[in-house]
Amino acid sequence: MAYALTEALLAMRRSKLTALATIGSLTVFMFLLGLFLTLHTNLSAVADGIRQRVQIEAFLADGVGPEEAEELTGQIAALDPVETVTYVDKDSALAVFREHFGDETLQALDHNPLPASLKIELRENHRTFDRVEEAARRIGELAGVAEVEYGRRWLSRLDALLSAVSLATLAISLILAVCTVLLVATTIRLAFHARRQAVEIMQLVGANRRLITAPFLIEGALYGLMGGLLGVILAGLLFLAVSRYLAGLRFVPAPLLLGLVVLAMLLGALGSLLSLRRAGWR
């Protein structure tokens, strides 16, 4: 291992321009991936914050009294997705309306037009669009429930946006991973051809295949490691600069950053392996 590492570092030193170009390109790849992961992290945090406030409101039909409302409360509370149910009578609904909109709107009316309702909060793992919609459907089928409201339009748009960003991040990650492998494979292929004479001499003196190919694999892994580290550092510096003006931003979690660097190193080694296989050495 010590021999392979030394040879890899010497090879990178001998081909400084090629090594710098490869590391620079990998840095850009990892920097872009870090940006998209940061975007996904922040959108997920925003979506989670909105979901914490997701609430189903079931408006009761006229004529449903307190006893029937209490029975409905028990039926709804027994549903698996439901965490809490709060009964809001007509007088309380009117008081909330007046607090937000004043008395002018209701001055022409001689009665309270607002229905009683049940405010329903779901468990945290049931606050996705599909599960909220299913819970609202089941609640709306209960006798005594006239209408169910849960912000269907904006909740569906939120889930669609998050799904689109997740798919875009995955697609970009795959593209950048392929680019990383191909770039390292091309660099190692050039390095292998440049050292072909040295490789042939090693064969003549009895060196085994592992001893010959190990430096190339280490070299590819080093390219990935350096590019990954620099890309993460640049993404972190950009995040620090932007977060000074946009409070509440979140950076990619540390375990994911570490995984990103390890992934870059593995992709570099994979690029070297592919290059060696095409040269007939693996």
Predicted pLDDT of residue 62: 82
Query: Which amino acid is it at 29?
Result: F
Predicted pLDDT of residue 230: 94
pTM of the model as a whole: 0.69
Closest-CA residue to 227 (of 275, 193, 171, 177): 177
Domains of the chain: 2-49+158-278 (no CATH), 55-149 (3.30.70.3040)
How confident is the prediction along the chain (282 residues), in pLDDT tens digits per residue? 676 677 667 777 777 888 888 889 899 999 999 898 898 888 888 877 777 777 888 888 887 877 888 888 888 888 888 888 888 887 777 777 676 666 665 665 666 677 888 888 888 888 777 888 888 888 888 888 888 888 777 777 877 888 888 888 889 889 988 988 898 888 887 777 766 666 656 555 555 566 666 777 888 889 899 999 999 999 999 999 988 888 778 888 888 889 989 999 899 888 888 877 776 554
Burial 78-105 (b: 16+ CB within 10 A, else e): eeebbeebeebbbeebeeebeeeeeeee
